[in-house]
Amino acid sequence: MSSRRKVMLKVIILGDSGVGKTSLMNQYVNKKFSASYKATIGAGFLTKEVIVDDRLVTMQLRDTAGQERFQSLGIAFYRCADCCVLVYDVNNSKSFPFVVLGNKIDVEKKRAISQKRAMAFCQSKGGIPYFETSARAAINVEQAFEAIARNALAQEDRRFPGP
């Protein structure tokens, strides 16, 4: 047991309010579920030690508040994350809309994810809109945010259809 290497992984759990982020964490770490809903205030975390490929891994699961008023806590909270998990409610289409942006395309020599690979991933997930952008060179930024606005509006229209 002492020969195993220890690893700490910080995993951020993201998603709209009420999709079950805290419930998933509690089920994974504590093997418990509570049917009563209590919104996360700010953020919280749980840890669990597991063995993965002969390594002792401490998973620090960071739960984020889904409410918009707590989203300013995000920057420090997300820093140094090893993985981000997006949770949505399969019964609520409002919790699912998103667009994938591959940024920093102006630094092509360091590219680790090909456009083809990213596009294939987004297609395999139901045709998620994908844009390659450069904030520095202002490439596709307007187009990406226009698509984001369109997706958000389409979701809003589905939730609240007009007369």
61, 27, 19: which is closest to 44 by C-alpha? 61
Domains and CATH numbers, the chain: 1-90 (3.40.50.300), 97-162 (3.40.50.300)
Q: What is the residue-level pLDDT of the chain in tens, covering all 163 positions? A: 445 567 889 898 888 878 888 888 889 999 988 777 666 655 678 899 998 888 889 999 888 765 444 455 556 666 778 888 888 888 887 777 778 999 999 987 889 999 999 999 999 988 889 999 999 899 999 999 898 888 877 766 665 676 6
Which helix (H) or strand (E) segment holds residue 117: the answer is: helix 115-124
98, 130, 105: which is closest to 16 by C-alpha? 98
In angstroms, what CA-CA distances link 102 with 3, 59, 86, 98, 147?
Answer: 39, 27, 17, 13, 14
